[in-house]
Amino acid sequence: MDPLRDDELGVPADFTLARDPWPLFSAWMTEATAAEPEDANAMALATADADGLPDVRMVLLKGADPRGLVFYTNVESAKGGQLARNPQAAVVLHWKSLRRQIRARGPIAPVTPEEADAYFASRHRDSRIGAIASRQSRPLADRPTLMAEVAALSERYDDGPIPRPENWTGFRIDPVQMEFWQNGDFRLHDRVRFSRDGAGWSRSRLYP
C-alpha cells in the first residue's frame, strides 16, 4: 500500500494538498524507514548561542506525534546550554534517496521524567554507560581517558540497574512551522509549508 494514497492517513496523492502535517510526516517517515539503509531518523538540529551565532549538529529523532518531535541529549552539552538560554530550535530531515526533506521549527520543552526514564532504560547497556561517562562537549585529553571512565562505570554497575543521570533527558520541539519538500526535475521542486493557526494549521504552497 502506498502511504501517500492511503485515505485513512488523510494524505492525498498530491502531498501539497494535505490539510494536516502530521499524517504526512508519518507517511514520509514510514517510507524513509523502509528505504534508507541507516538512520532514517537522523536530523540536523539548529540552535543559537548567547551571541546569536547559529550552531548545528546531527541528532536522532526518537519520537514524533502531534505533541512534537523528540530527541535526547546531555543538558550540560553545548546544545543543552544553548537551549537553556534560548528554548527554540529548528530541524531538518533529508532523505537523498527519496529526494525529500522535512523542516520544522518552534519552541522546545523537556520531556517528562517518566518519558526520559523509559527511553534511557530501552537503550543498550553500553550506550547507557557511555551517556554517564561522557562529559559531552567538554575538552577531553585523549580517548584512553574516556575508555578508562567507561571501564570503571561498567565495573561499578556490573549487572545491576543503571540509573538515568540527572543531566541526561529529552526535549520536545513543538513546531510552529513545518515544511515538506520534494525534489522536482530541473529544480522545479514541490514545497508546502504548514503554519500553526490557533488549534489548527494554515497551508501555503511555495515556489521552489
Residue type at 169 in one-letter notation = T
Ligand-binding site membership of 127 (annotated): yes
CA dihedral over 74, 75, 80, 81, signed as positive or negative: negative
Eight-state DSSP code of residue 66: T
Ligand-binding site membership of 157 (annotated): no
Ligand-binding site membership of 72 (annotated): yes
Ligand-binding site membership of 189 (annotated): yes
For residues 65 and 13, give the distance between their C-alpha atoms in angstroms, rounded to a whole number: 21
Ligand-binding site membership of 123 (annotated): yes
Per the annotation, the verdict on 187 as an active-site residue is yes
For residues 3 and 7, give the distance between their C-alpha atoms in angstroms, rounded to a whole number: 8
User: Pick the catalytic residue: 5, 99, 105, 187?
Assistant: 187
Ligand-binding site membership of 136 (annotated): yes
Residue type at 26 in one-letter notation = S
For residues 99 and 130, give the distance between their C-alpha atoms in angstroms, rounded to a whole number: 34
- Report the DSSP beta bridge partners of residue 200: 197
Ligand-binding site membership of 137 (annotated): yes
Ligand-binding site membership of 59 (annotated): yes
Which positions are catalytic? 187
Residues that constitute the known binding site for substrate? 62, 119, 123, 127, 187-189
Residues that constitute the known binding site? 57-62, 72-73, 79, 101, 119, 123, 127, 136-137, 181, 187-189, 191
Residues that constitute the known binding site for FMN? 57-62, 72-73, 79, 101, 136-137, 181, 191
